[in-house]
Amino acid sequence: MKHTFDDLLEQHIADLPDWVAIRLEEIPVIVDDEPSDTDLALVGLDRHTSELCGLHTGVPITMRHVEHAYRMPDHIQLFRGPIKRVAKNTGSSLSEQIRITLLHEIGHHFGLDEDQLTELGYG
At residue 63, the pLDDT reads 55
In a domain, 89, yes or no: yes
Output the average pLDDT for the chain. 83
In a domain, 121, yes or no: no
In a domain, 123, yes or no: no
> How large a percentage of the chain has pLDDT more than 90?
41
| Higher pLDDT among residues 90 and 80, named by residue | 80
In a domain, 30, yes or no: yes
Q: pTM (2 decimals)? A: 0.81
**Which residue range(s) make up the domain with 93?**
5-58+73-112
Closest-CA residue to 28 (of 56, 6, 2)? 56
In a domain, 31, yes or no: yes
Number of domains the chain is built from? 1
32: domain CATH number is 3.30.2010.20
* pLDDT tens per residue, range 33-78: 999 998 898 888 888 888 999 998 875 555 555 555 556 668 899 9
Angle, helix 5-14 to helix 94-109, in steps of 10 degrees:
50
